[in-house]
Chain A
Amino acid sequence: MDSEVLFLFLQQGIASGIVSGSVYALLALAIVMIFKTSEVPNFAQGEVFMVAAYAALFLIVFYGLPMWVVIPAALLFTVAGMMLFEAGILRRVKKALGEPVNLVIATLGLSFLLRGLVRQTGLGDTPRSFPSLVSTDPVQIGQAMLTRLDLAIVGTAVAVMAAVFLLFNFTRAGRAMRALGMNPKAAALVGIDIRRTHAFVWGLSGLVSAISALLIAPKILMTPEMGHVAILAFAAAIVGGFNSLPGAVLGGFIIGIAENLVGLFVSASAIVVTPFLAIMAVLVLRPQGLLGGRPQMRKV
């Protein structure tokens, strides 16, 4: 491969990688905010993402509603669903035995339930595409070709990330969430409503997942298996350090770019193993992730 083509591929890979990476970063953010506050890796995050997209599609296909109704409705639906799962199911699981394994299994159960439900509606029988709000006219950046939709995706994703950071760092709710993540008992002592904060985090995580779903939906073919992207988000979270929100964002972009470069330089079918290789590389070289703090020894 001569250097000119190499350089072109590199530019295209990075540009496309930033687009898909921004979506992975959002989803990773949604995963990490839950993990930070409740120590549960939500294995259903990908299916929540999928359901959000299908909820929007359902409203369009069956009721022909306009987008300005569909989008808020789908977001609200996802937020409510996540809060309901946390308050109605997880809380009960925690009370029943409360081992981390049990919580993880409950989220695995949710992922299967959601996928089965969507399959049952028949909407997923044929792969569908989601209408795009923004035109897919090409835009050239350097030598890389993107579309206007791509730019809109990155723009929205970055805005959402910024909003999450502001929320976490400068609001009362954000302080409550951080306190909960550091020390639940102390948080309760200083008067933070633990239950409400948990529900809030799950709701927020649902919101962020739903936004990422609606962003990427016009670019991909929707199937009930689309929740599979969550593995990329999990890889992103591990690369970034599983308890770091900025790490999740960084990891998302790294995975997005790595995946696109592998697709361009190796083969399209090798993309699937990228997250596994990234996870392995991080575990061997820097187990706590790029921005993760050193894991603390449990106090005895």
Chain B
Amino acid sequence: MIEVENLTLRFGGLVAVNDLSLVVRPRTIHALIGPNGAGKSTTFNCISRLYRPTSGRIRVLGRDVSGLRPQDLAPLGVARTFQNLELFGGLSVLENVLIGAHVHCGGGLRERLAARPPAVIGHVEHLLERVGLAEFRHAQASALDFGRQKMLELARALAIRPRILLLDEPAAGLRNREIGALDRLLNELVERDGLTVLLVEHVMQLVMAISHRVTVMNFGARIAEGTPAEVRRDPLVVEAYLGQEAAHA
């Protein structure tokens, strides 16, 4: 579903991503982990075309993305969330999700002019139920608590009806109970709805519980890849994380 080949991105002299290759298989949850500054979010932003890679190739759904603009991905069925929340904060919860369905309400003039476009409103309401925000549909997005804002961002991304979901730290800052709900939702999306998920995550509890495959990055490069169990035993990974712990202490 996503193939990254020899991706390199330099900012000036800094090599943010160094010759990274990665294959995400259909209907799997693939996690991208690594210490801070390892280049995970940068890789993400290359896939969603916010950054232009210095070299390398990225194919999404079998299609080379190099000619695409960031807004061309949603119509292809690629949705994303953001590390530091990028909600439409001043708008209502409902409107946030409706905007997520933007590419699906461009049919006729009636559809375009409708405040609640018939083609998408049912799906939007369903998504709000599914992430537990139905009762907040008229609240202002920025007034929600942090966990609900994260769920709203997920619902907004799902309104695209994506085949691929790119999640940038979906569990960061969530409480345990909320992580459990997220865990179930993601599993359901893959098992029942057939989505493919690539996620960047720090919360190991989530990564180890739900990922089919894990890629570990450090200093912009891949240092390990495998099932959660394999990765956990890898000495390079242990060192990268321990090294970071030591640096923090």
Report yes or no: B51 in contact with A297, Cβ–Cβ below 8 A: yes
A297 / chain B contacts, CB cutoff of 8 Å = 50-51
B239 / chain A contacts, CB cutoff of 8 Å = none
The answer, yes or no, to whether A300 is at the interface (CB within 8 Å) is yes
Q: Give chain B interface residues in 177-192, CB to chain A under 8 Å.
A: none
A300 / chain B contacts, CB cutoff of 8 Å = 41, 45, 50, 82-84, 86
Q: Bits for B32-50, please: 1 = Cβ < 8 Å to A, else 0.
A: 0000000001000100001
B41 to chain A, nearest CB (A): 8
Bound complex: CA A300 to CA B84 (Å): 6
Bound complex: CA A297 to CA B41 (Å): 14
B82 / chain A contacts, CB cutoff of 8 Å = 300
Bound complex: CA A297 to CA B50 (Å): 8
Q: Bits for B75-90, please: 1 = Cβ < 8 Å to A, else 0.
A: 0000000111010000
Q: Bits for A276-300, please: 1 = Cβ < 8 Å to B, else 0.
A: 0000000000000000000001001
> What residue in chain B is nearest A300 (Cβ atoms)?
B82
Bound complex: CA A63 to CA B50 (Å): 62
Q: Give chain A interface residues in 19-36, CB to chain B under 8 Å.
A: none
B16 to chain A, nearest CB (A): 12
A30 to chain B, nearest CB (A): 31
B51 / chain A contacts, CB cutoff of 8 Å = 297
B83 / chain A contacts, CB cutoff of 8 Å = 300
Bound complex: CA A300 to CA B83 (Å): 6
> What residue in chain A is nearest B84 (Cβ atoms)?
A300
> What residue in chain B is nearest A296 (Cβ atoms)?
B11
> What residue in chain A is nearest B42 (Cβ atoms)?
A299
Bound complex: CA A297 to CA B83 (Å): 15
A294 to chain B, nearest CB (A): 10
B86 / chain A contacts, CB cutoff of 8 Å = 300
> What residue in chain B is nearest A297 (Cβ atoms)?
B50
B38 to chain A, nearest CB (A): 15
> What residue in chain A is nearest B86 (Cβ atoms)?
A300
> What residue in chain A is nearest B45 (Cβ atoms)?
A300
> What residue in chain A is nearest B48 (Cβ atoms)?
A300
B13 to chain A, nearest CB (A): 15
Q: Bits for A124-145, please: 1 = Cβ < 8 Å to B, else 0.
A: 0000000000000000000000
Bound complex: CA A297 to CA B45 (Å): 11
> What residue in chain A is nearest B168 (Cβ atoms)?
A300
B50 / chain A contacts, CB cutoff of 8 Å = 297, 300
Bound complex: CA A300 to CA B51 (Å): 11
Q: Give chain A interface residues in 136-171, CB to chain B under 8 Å.
A: none
A295 to chain B, nearest CB (A): 14
B192 to chain A, nearest CB (A): 30
B226 to chain A, nearest CB (A): 29
B142 to chain A, nearest CB (A): 12
B242 to chain A, nearest CB (A): 27
Bound complex: CA A190 to CA B84 (Å): 23
B86 to chain A, nearest CB (A): 6
Bound complex: CA A297 to CA B51 (Å): 8
> What residue in chain A is nearest B80 (Cβ atoms)?
A300
Q: Give chain B interface residues in 56-94, CB to chain A under 8 Å.
A: 82-84, 86
Q: Give chain A interface residues in 241-300, CB to chain B under 8 Å.
A: 297, 300
B84 / chain A contacts, CB cutoff of 8 Å = 300
B41 / chain A contacts, CB cutoff of 8 Å = 300
Bound complex: CA A297 to CA B42 (Å): 12
Bound complex: CA A300 to CA B86 (Å): 8
A134 to chain B, nearest CB (A): 48
Q: Give chain A interface residues in 203-235, CB to chain B under 8 Å.
A: none
Bound complex: CA A297 to CA B11 (Å): 12
B45 / chain A contacts, CB cutoff of 8 Å = 300
B141 to chain A, nearest CB (A): 16
B39 to chain A, nearest CB (A): 14
**List of 8 A-B pairs having minimum Cβ-Cβ separation, nearest first:** A300-B82, A300-B86, A297-B50, A300-B83, A300-B50, A300-B84, A300-B45, A297-B51
9 A-B contacts, Cβ less than 8 Å apart? A297-B50, A297-B51, A300-B41, A300-B45, A300-B50, A300-B82, A300-B83, A300-B84, A300-B86
Interface residues of B (CB under 8 A from A): 41, 45, 50-51, 82-84, 86
New A-B contacts (6) at CB < 8 Å, excluding given A300-B50, A300-B82, A300-B84: A297-B50, A297-B51, A300-B41, A300-B45, A300-B83, A300-B86
